[in-house]
Structure formats: C-alpha cells, structure tokens
C-alpha cells in the first residue's frame, strides 16, 4: 500500500522505486497517468508551441496521420487551419507530402506514433526527406515502451538505430516539455531533415525553464561528477538524475549528461567524460543494439578505453504491460540505473 501515497506520475514513469511487478494491479489504474500540469507535458505543448512559431513564420505547416488529439496538433489546427493537414492513417504518404511541401519552401512538421514514423516510414525518411535535404521535421511520439499495453506493433525500440544510419538526417530526443520547446524553436531554420523523438508525453520535468543555450549536437551536462558518467537521453534522463542522487548516498559521484542529439553526436562530451570519470554507462529507452549506447561505443573504441556498459532494453520483444512496470522490469527506473552503475564500477 506504500505506493498509493507516492506521486502518480512517478509511479507511471517508473521513478518511484520499489519492486514493481508486471502483474501489479496498481498499474492497471488509468489515474496513474494523471497528476502533472498540462503546461509541463510534451504531449500538451507540441501544437501550442508550433502555433506560436507559426504566428511569426508563414512557412510553418503541420501534418498528422489521424492523431491530432493524441499529439495535440489540434491546438495548431485551431489557430492555423489553413496550414494544418490530416493525411489519415497513411503515414508513408504523409511523409512524402511533407517533403513535397518542403520542396516548395515550407518548413513541415509531420507527427505520428514513433513506431509508424521511423520504423514504418524509413524508406520515405531516407529517399523523400533526407536525400534531397528537405526541411521536414518528423516527430515520432509515444516512443520506446510508452505504449506498453498496445504491444510490439506500437513499441518503438529500434527507431534510433534506424534513423542514425540515414545520411544527412539530424536525430534528437526531447527530454521534457521545456526541452521540446527549445528543440522546436531551434529546428525552424536548421538545414535538412530531422527526426524528433518524443516519449509518451507525460515525461517528468528535467528543465524548469526553456534551456536558452540549446544547440543540436551539443550535449548538456546536468550534474557534475568524477566517478562515473551516465549518458542518457529522452524519457530516462529524470530517472538517471534520480539514480545519481541515490549513488551519491553511497559515496559515488556520478556525472549526468543529456545526450539529446543522437546524430550528430557530441563526441567531445563523450571523450571528456572518458578522460575525467572512471566509467561510462549509457541509458536509453531503446534496444541496446544500434542506439545511443552503440553511438557512444563507436567513439570510445576509436580513442578512449575505459569501463563501459550499455543499459537499455535487451535484444528482445518486450512483454505487454503498463509502462512503469516495464521500466522497472528492464531496470530503467532510478533504482535499476543506480544498480547498473554500481555493477559497472565493481567490475
């Protein structure tokens, strides 16, 4: 009954700690997803922020694949109906249309579930968007295991591996609502195509204000440390910060880096962490094959050899279940990340 008194979002996101079972009845309660103010939720500011940008930039247009409510692009539609397009359940066509519009001088934002964006639409992202250098911003929301109950077809644990291998494509992961605002503002005049990865939309706050110094390809060090570095992105950044606090109680000084841009990767931040800390643990809500961990490993294997471990989802299809239980199951909550860091240092 201890969990009942904990914050509902902490429970849902898996940051509350404790032994969480995939069969725990607590996680079947729909109320567990509520509690965070809408202004702090990425899912509730996407359309609003794009509409604000469009107020001053006639180039901006928004497309979705019948998910205007889920991704809140309907907020954009209300303010700019002439620049909003619902392409129906036809994600590949949406991406091609977005590329065609971009070829006419528009800056297009096309949003759908991550599983139906980067995975289903890989051909369109490569050939129609990235290859001709179109200013298309593909927004893959509900990434990772965040659609836990919907099963494998709706899980997106391969999207980073796919997108970071596509030439001339910028790949970035939003951490929270304010971070997403920074990404969208910086994306308007960024050259070429881009994949923006969002979580479920109820990700806990990391940035209390919009980070003004945000730049693509420039990681953000959120916590200094000398013993071990946690390099993370997206939905697990808050859990990594919480894990660092737990490690501090055991005398372990952990650095936490938000490696929001997967491509181009901030290789300088990786090398600096390798020089200044004793080990590196990457943390991601993604298959450990080909994602953030693999990108960091590629840097380390070429120059710096230190204790290193990738932490994420193993190379398997995850079971169906509520997200918080899945995060705990794969040790992607604060307790699990702290235990992984301790194991790395002991090894």
Looking at residue 21, its pLDDT comes to 44
Query: Buried b vs exposed e over 162-195: b needs ≥16 C-beta within 10 Å?
Result: bbbebeebbbbbbbbbbbbbbbbeebbeeeebbb
The residue among 98, 185, 103 whose CA lies nearest residue 138 is 98
Catalytic residue among 49, 91, 284, 285: 91
**Confidence check: pLDDT of 1 > 60:** no
Q: What pLDDT was estimated at residue 37? A: 61
Residue-wise pLDDT for 185-229, tens only, equals 999 999 999 999 998 767 789 999 999 989 999 999 999 999 999
Active site residue 25: no
- Tell whether the model's pLDDT for residue 9 goes beyond 60: no
Q: How far is CA 303 from CA 227, 270, 344, in A?
A: 20, 11, 20
Residue 17 has pLDDT above 70, yes or no: no
Residue 43 confidence (pLDDT):
60
Are the C-beta atoms of 27 and 11 separated by less than 8 Å?
A: yes
The yes-or-no verdict on residue 293 having pLDDT over 50 is yes
Tokens of residue 105, six digits: 């001088």
For the chain, percent of residues with pLDDT exceeding 70: 87
* 85-100: pLDDT as tens digits: 999 999 999 999 999 9
Residues 127 and 98 sit within 8 Å (Cβ to Cβ): no
Domain with CATH 3.40.50.970 in the chain: 38-197
What the block records as the tokens of 197 is: 């990865």
- The top-level CATH class assigned to 38-197 is alpha beta
Average pLDDT over residues 222-249: 97
Q: Quick check: bond before 180 cis, omega within 30? A: no
20-33: pLDDT as tens digits: 444 443 333 343 34
Burial class (CB in 10 A: 0-12, 13-18, 19+), 116: buried
Region 45-57: mean pLDDT is 96
Please state, rounded to an integer, the average pLDDT across all residues of the chain. 89
Q: In the chain, where does the domain assigned CATH 3.40.50.920 lie?
A: 220-346
Q: What percent of the chain has pLDDT over 90?
A: 78
Q: CA-CA distance, 46 to 66, in Å (whole number)?
A: 16
Domain boundaries 220-346, CATH class: alpha beta
Query: Does residue 106 surpass a pLDDT of 60?
Result: yes
Residue 289, token pair as written in the block:
């094959």
Q: Which two tokens stand for residue 206?
A: 């990391």
Residue identified by tokens 């308007």 is 188
CA atoms within 13 A on the CB side of 241: 16
Report the alpha-carbon distance of residue 54 to residue 48 in Å, rounded. 10
In eight-state DSSP terms, residue 146 is T
Averaged pLDDT, 73-90: 95
Q: Cβ of 262: how many Cβ atoms within 10 Å?
A: 28
Q: Which two tokens stand for residue 201?
A: 């939309």
Name 170's Cβ contacts closer than 8 Å, sequence gap at least 6.
Answer: 190, 192, 193, 194, 195, 216, 261, 263, 264
């Amino acid at each position: 009954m201890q969990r009942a008194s904990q914050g509902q979002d902490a429970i849902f996101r898996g940051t509350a700690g404790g032994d969480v079972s995939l069969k725990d009845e607590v996680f079947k309660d729909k109320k567990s997803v509520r509690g965070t103010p809408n202004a702090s939720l990425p899912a509730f500011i996407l359309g609003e922020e794009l509409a604000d940008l469009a107020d001053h930039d006639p180039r901006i247009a928004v497309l979705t694949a019948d998910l205007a409510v889920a991704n809140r692009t309907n907020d954009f539609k209300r303010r700019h109906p002439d620049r909003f397009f619902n392409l129906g359940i036809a994600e590949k066509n949406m991406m091609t249309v977005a590329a065609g519009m971009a070829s006419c001088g528009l800056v297009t934002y096309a949003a759908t579930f991550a599983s139906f964006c980067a995975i289903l639409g890989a051909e369109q992202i490569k050939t129609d968007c990235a290859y001709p250098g179109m200013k298309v911003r593909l927004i893959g929301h509900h990434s990772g295991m965040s659609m836990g109950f919907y099963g494998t077809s709706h899980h997106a644990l391969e999207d980073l591996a796919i997108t970071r291998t596509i030439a001339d494509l910028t790949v970035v992961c939003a951490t929270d609502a304010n971070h997403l605002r920074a990404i969208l503002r910086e994306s308007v005049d960024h050259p070429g195509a881009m994949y923006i990865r969002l979580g479920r939309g109820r990700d806990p706050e990391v940035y209390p204000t919009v980070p003004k110094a945000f730049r693509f390809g420039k990681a953000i060090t959120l916590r200094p440390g000398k013993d071990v570095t946690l390099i993370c992105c997206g939905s697990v950044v808050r859990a990594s910060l919480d894990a660092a606090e737990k490690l501090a109680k055991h005398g372990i000084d952990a650095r936490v880096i938000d490696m929001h841009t997967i491509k181009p990767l901030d290789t300088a931040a990786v090398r600096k962490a390798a020089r200044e800390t004793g080990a590196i643990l990457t943390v991601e809500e993604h298959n450990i094959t080909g994602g953030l961990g693999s990108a960091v490993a590629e840097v380390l294997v070429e120059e710096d050899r230190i204790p290193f471990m990738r932490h994420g989802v193993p190379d398997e299809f995850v079971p169906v279940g509520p997200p918080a239980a899945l995060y705990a199951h794969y040790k992607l909550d604060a307790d699990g990340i702290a235990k992984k860091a301790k194991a790395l240092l002991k090894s």
